Amino acid sequence: MTALFNFQSLLLVILLTICTSTYAHYVFPGIMDRNKDSYYMAPFWKSARVGERLSPYVSLACVVMAVVEFMG
């Protein structure tokens, strides 16, 4: 079953995309800022913005998903 058909896996993929994009923007800010209007880089730039602005909620979601994966 792919991540698109399983809601929990889809949430995990979205959360990991947000976390990875935020880290990549922190390490390489010039590359993501320069290509923020690109068709392929725009979703990652937007994910990085979400991760930067909502970092307490994203980290809480990471902890919740870790507990859910561990328990289930």
pLDDT over 70, % of the chain: 94
Domain ranges within the chain, ordered by starting residue: 7-71
DSSP characters over the chain: --TTT-HHHHHHHHHHHHHHHHHHHHH-HHHHHHTTTSTTTHHHHHHHHHHHHTHHHHHHHHHHHHHHHHH-
How confident is the chain (72 residues) per 10-residue block, as mean pLDDT? Answer: 75 92 92 86 91 92 90 80
Q: pLDDT digits over 21-36, tens only?
A: 999 999 989 888 888 8
Which candidate, 37, 55, 53, places its Cα nearest to that of 45? 37
Radius of gyration in angstroms for the set of CA atoms belonging to the chain, rounded to a whole number: 13
